[in-house]
Structure 1
Amino acid sequence: MAAAEGKPALAEKHLEEDVATRCCAGSGGILSPMPSLHCSLQDLPPELLVEIFALLPGTDLPCLALACTKFHHILHIDSIWRRRCREEFGVRETLEILKMIGMSYREVYTKLLHPYRNILGLWQPDDDYRRLLYVAVDGLCITGWMNRPCLNTHVDGPMQFQPLFRICLTERKSATLEYMDDFYSFSHSHHMQIRKDRFSIQWIKRDHRTDLPMWLKGEWGWVLVREDRQQYDCLTYRCVYLPPRHPDDLIRPGLFHSKYDGFRGKIAMLSFHGKYARVREIRGDFIWTLEIHLMRRIQLRDGEFFRNFNELSRVVQEIEEQDYPRTCRMCFYGVETFTLPGFADPMRLPVVFILFDENHFGFIWLEAKYFFLFGRVQNTFQNVEAPSGQAFLEMLSNIQSRPL
């Protein structure tokens, strides 16, 4: 019995000696301790750490570089930052271009893309509701594109943008901001104040006079003239989020534009809110909202729904010839609300809302028998998603409550 019990113990001893021999192999025959079952991140080879760090958000990498000297050196490898620039900001420039200008992807990320990440997206100027600003990564720069009312805009065409300002890395490897309009002069980056939902830029006007008073009444309010007798404007922009989409929406929400009065145009946002849909103007001449009652679908006198546009088209053709779709999907009762400049109280008028297809809708102003056609904006925008549903509703409220 004792001999039987001794055999397992002897076998276990031989197994321990075999493991010990393999552990000290390659170490000059010096016995090494048993390997630990827990491996530290620092023990991984540099090639594997590069792959791991490249998967992390760029905002976490600076703190990771403070962990140890090994991590600090690895995070200077540019392939990590190249992947962060590509995945987070869509930068597709080649490494050869960066070498030509003497910069690295780490410098582009840490000195340009990350500090100015909160101004990327779609914005509405506080001083002029007839314009929209779109800020996007443009190669190795960040460019602000301004959209203004266009006389030749078609409801099926894209919005037209012109460059307003550009932020680039200079030879000193610091980001500088340049205005691309003759009315304003160059301004340094510290004249830009950035918050998550708005940002402000202070510009120096080129055509200032030396005999101006310290304060001037500008077109959109009072502007400051400092002791150097230069005239400054502080322009503030509020963020514009695109509406989230829900499975039960009639069509995909988003931006639509139209022409009215023959040439002037407006850009509005279609969004769905349960039993209601709303079209809110975000670029135009006055505050305007259209509320569609989705539970009040319009029917003909014989009880049939509108299946075509024949009857409504006669109303439209009496006004003017327009290039509108000839068939409609459905019609609803709606209420138009707008406030004219100089008037405090809004006007409310009943309308017929007409949904043509995925990219077109319109409405008939019943009292004036006037027809408005909207087409989907064909531009593609980045960084325009609302962080939450509540943030989107607050943005809509700010647009609606803007001062005249």
Structure 2
Amino acid sequence: MSLHIVDLPPELLFQILRHLPGPDIGRVCQTCRKLREIGSVDSLWQIKCRIEYKYAVEGGLENSSYYKIYSKVLHKYGKSVGLWRRDRKVYGGLVWIRYDKEGIVGSELLAPLSPNVKESMRRFDLFNISLTSEDEVKVTCTAEVNGHPCSVKVKPKKGTCKYTCLDTSNHLYGDKKIDLKNDSSLIEVLNIWLDNERGSDGDNDMYHFTYYGRGMDFLKNIHTYKLKPLLIQPPVQDKDVPLQPGLFKGTYSAHGIEIMNAEYSQNFNTLTLTKITGDPNVPATKVSVKVDLLRPMVLTANQQESIDNLDGVDTAHIEPGTKLEPQPFVFPRNCSERSGFNPPKTCLFRYHAQGQIAGHGFRSPTWSPGHFVVFDEDTFGMIWLQLESFSLYSRVMEKYDFSKLAQEHELTR
């Protein structure tokens, strides 16, 4: 006597269905009423939401069901959740898409205003994806109080996401509603942007051209965000490293504060800082700093008194694997620094490094020598010897979910 699958107990059928991908559950449940009834149990879809998309609502859903959330929101937009880098020439950008109650919210993440590198990231909401009372998906641009339609398109196979505002006639800037279709209004928006973004740099005329260029690019790309998933290296567990990888904010002279992705090479011989946001000299996606972890150094206070001393210092070879103790740190004379940094008297590590410099438009890029100095797990600096300047970097302390698409594309490389 043969046994048909529908003769199995409902509890066992439930366990079988929970191990199927969500789309396959729908197909299987079309075969008979018993499977359809089991497939309609909302706790099954709660499991699928959690396993496939890491979607969970504390306290449960109030206005919808997990099946509706899965089939109408997550199936189409779930792979958009995570950190994305903005695919924008020169300046780049960072976008965080996350779950919010019974929907999805996309936000742009901006570095703090210059020169306050240790302050928190700034967040501006871009769009919201939710279900209406009629169970229709609503994609809303949140640049205006009441919201208006926008488009979010996720292409998992290409690893891209694109957000486009479909109505720019009623955007809110500061406390003003402005029609971006009106050319005269663009000047007003530019002035508002400059007032908001320059911070204390607004008092310095030498930085006006830099911010004006960023503002013009902001206007040019205000309606559309093309995104690519950003993969952050996980914490290093089994190696002694000077600091954990991750996102950092760094001071870049007149260019303000830029966002970096710090990650180790496969053999842990090099630490690389790649630009998530950039500038006309060294744009986004380019490497800003390369640290040679095979060339640590220990300096006396006298060796650090000036840039000339540092540039000509002859450091003794230190065997790889040698345990390094905290050493003196002296901020060198004739070295410019804009963050208001109060240097400590010691640092944890110091390494030879190279920083990338270039002319406007990334012309004639070259590598310039420097010293990479680690002060603590979340703070380090770069002394640019030829530029006679100092960049301070501070870890992005906010916690962001990483992109599932980024992880999938990393596995298929």
Partner of 1:138: 100
Indicate yes or no: 2:357 matched with 1:338.
yes
Partner of 1:253: 245
Are the aligned partners of 1:141 and 1:166 in contact in 2 as well (CA < 8 Å)?
A: yes
Partner of 1:313: 331
Counterparts of residues 94-133 of structure 1 (less than 5 Å) = 94-95=59-60, 97-98=62-63, 103-127=64-88, 129=91, 131-133=93-95
Partner of 1:68: 32
Are the aligned partners of 1:125 and 1:236 in contact in 2 as well (CA < 8 Å)?
A: yes
Counterpart Cα distance in 1 of 2:115 and 2:3: 63
Counterparts of residues 288-307 of structure 1 (less than 5 Å) = 289-300=288-299, 303=316, 307=325
Counterpart Cα distance in 1 of 2:75 and 2:365: 43
Indicate yes or no: 2:256 matched with 1:237.
no
Counterparts of residues 4-403 of structure 1 (less than 5 Å) = 40-54=4-18, 56-87=20-51, 88-95=53-60, 97-98=62-63, 103-127=64-88, 129=91, 131-151=93-113, 154-182=116-144, 186-188=148-150, 191-196=151-156, 197-203=159-165, 204-206=167-169, 207=179, 209=181, 233-246=223-236, 247-248=238-239, 250=241, 251-261=243-253, 264-273=256-265, 274=267, 275-285=269-279, 286-287=282-283, 289-300=288-299, 303=316, 307-315=325-333, 319=337, 321-384=340-403, 386-387=406-407, 390=410
Question: TM-score, normalization: structure 2?
Answer: 0.70
Q: How far is the alpha carbon of 1:263 from its aligned partner?
A: 8.9
Report which stretch shifted further, 231-240 or 161-170.
Answer: 231-240
Q: How far is the alpha carbon of 1:62 from its aligned partner?
A: 2.1
Are the aligned partners of 1:277 and 1:293 in contact in 2 as well (CA < 8 Å)?
A: yes
Counterpart Cα distance in 2 of 1:316 and 1:75: 71
Q: How far is the alpha carbon of 1:184 from its aligned partner?
A: 11
Higher relative contact order structure (alpha carbons within 8 Å, sequence separation ≥ 6): 2
Which amino acid in structure 1 is aligned with residue 407 of structure 2?
A: P
Are the aligned partners of 1:130 and 1:149 in contact in 2 as well (CA < 8 Å)?
A: no
Counterpart Cα distance in 2 of 1:361 and 1:56: 47
Are the aligned partners of 1:249 and 1:272 in contact in 2 as well (CA < 8 Å)?
A: no
Quick one: percent identity of the two aligned structures? 24
Q: Which runs of 5+ in 1 are unaligned?
A: 1-35, 213-217, 224-230, 395-404
Kindly tell me the number of residue pairs found equivalent between the two proteins.
Answer: 339
- RMSD of aligned C-alpha atoms? 3.7
Q: Which runs of 5+ in 2 are unaligned?
A: 170-178, 185-214, 300-313, 319-323
Task: Return closer, same or farther for 1:289/1:319 CA change in 2, 3 Å cut-off.
Answer: closer
Counterpart Cα distance in 1 of 2:255 and 2:224: 30
Question: TM-score, normalization: structure 1?
Answer: 0.71
Task: Return closer, same or farther for 1:71/1:340 CA change in 2, 3 Å cut-off.
Answer: farther
Q: Give 1 or 2 for the bigger CA radius of gyration.
A: 1
